[in-house]
Chain A
């Protein structure tokens, strides 16, 4: 009798606990997904801005066809990419081509002073910042979710209901990733 009651209490407590954990995990997963959609919105915004940028730059820098084409190509790749890994790579590539484009723009004072160009530059800077912030928020939420889902006793619930950990969205600067070669 007593054993039965104790067992019942234990089961009830375990059930209530797992309900709480399950709900908390769902909440955190929502935050992660919200973070991801924020990143997506900002990436799309950048894709939309680039054609305008190319259109304005074309008029001033006819001799930099290669740089402009690189940006267009990179943009297309980024638009077509699907899946976290692909997206990450394509977007990083796009960022680096944009950087080299703006480095070239420095040599064209007329283009730099163009009112529309100034406006677009501000918009692009802002979008880059938003991507960085959205990524930061997403990664923070992923850390929170992953930590919660992997610690005991939450991990039991996580395994039971098939909660998978999320990957970080990393912006890797290709130059930084290379291991520096040390020569003597």
Chain B
């Protein structure tokens, strides 16, 4: 079963079985503008919910991407170093950042549903 959840910091989590795929939302890529570089963690790195997981650099600025969950990185998107613009063109599919294990299943429950996230983005104007 696949479930999609979101954070207020505009990361998404797609949980498929016990592996979570993490990336940034369409709203986030639009705010950042043209992505030119993504700094990813190493496979095996331990991530803590709310702490820095990656850094995304657009033409304008560098922005932190926070871990939406606690767990261990099991894969990173090898396409991003050479084609970072895929984060702009396909944030929820080809532009994913990393895959991780989920240490605390309950952490999924505090994340927003797609409907709640869309309503939240509406309030940001």
Partners in one complex: no
Chain B positions near chain A (C-beta within 8 angstroms): none
Chain A interface (Cβ within 8 Å of chain B)? none
